[in-house]
Amino acid sequence: MIVQETSGGELAPKKVQNAVCVAVIDVGESYGIEPNTVAKNGAIGARLLPPHEDYPDQRGMAAVRFIFESEKLKEDDQPFRLTFQANCTMSESGNLKKFLNGWGIKLVRTDRGVDLEASCVGKTAMINVVHKVKGESTYANISTAMPSDSDLKPSGAFDKADYMQYCRGQYEEKQEKKKREQLNK
């Protein structure tokens, strides 16, 4: 199964809609990044993503991606899959805490911190889907999540292992492209 996140296919409708969270992904793990072992670089054990070149603080950051299936269906009667990505910080300046607070879910806390998978997978939300244009592509993104009383259930079609393999391939392609561009400079 290939999961498409770009405008190569149908876009989810640009509107508020019910959705169910089907996965919480450690983005660094999905990209095949090894856990951090140097305390000055960030949290030990976190899989730190390389910073974006435009980001002022050039430190690596851990990120989490929420994957939702919408109640809205594509032409093939499969639910639209939408993602929301955030840095792994519950600080007021980050977007993760705002997203979770807006969603209104009860967080499952452990002695190691908040268990996002236990807190979110299988839970419904009213998500606001927006369309963003980047270059020649248009993307359907989740801007916010709000509480929902919907009884929407996951379709069962999402395969986390396949998704992780797809992400790893996409990341490797991106890294190779970046290397080629640097060699051509």
Asked if residue 3 has pLDDT above 80, the reply is no
Give the residue, 8 or 78, on which the prediction is more confident.
78
Model confidence over 59-75: pLDDT tens digits? 788 999 999 999 999 99
DSSP secondary structure letter of residue 95: S
Model confidence over 84-103: pLDDT tens digits? 999 988 888 889 999 999 99
Residue 125 near residue 68 (C-beta atoms within 8 A): yes
Residue 114 near residue 90 (C-beta atoms within 8 A): yes
Which amino acid, residue 53?
E
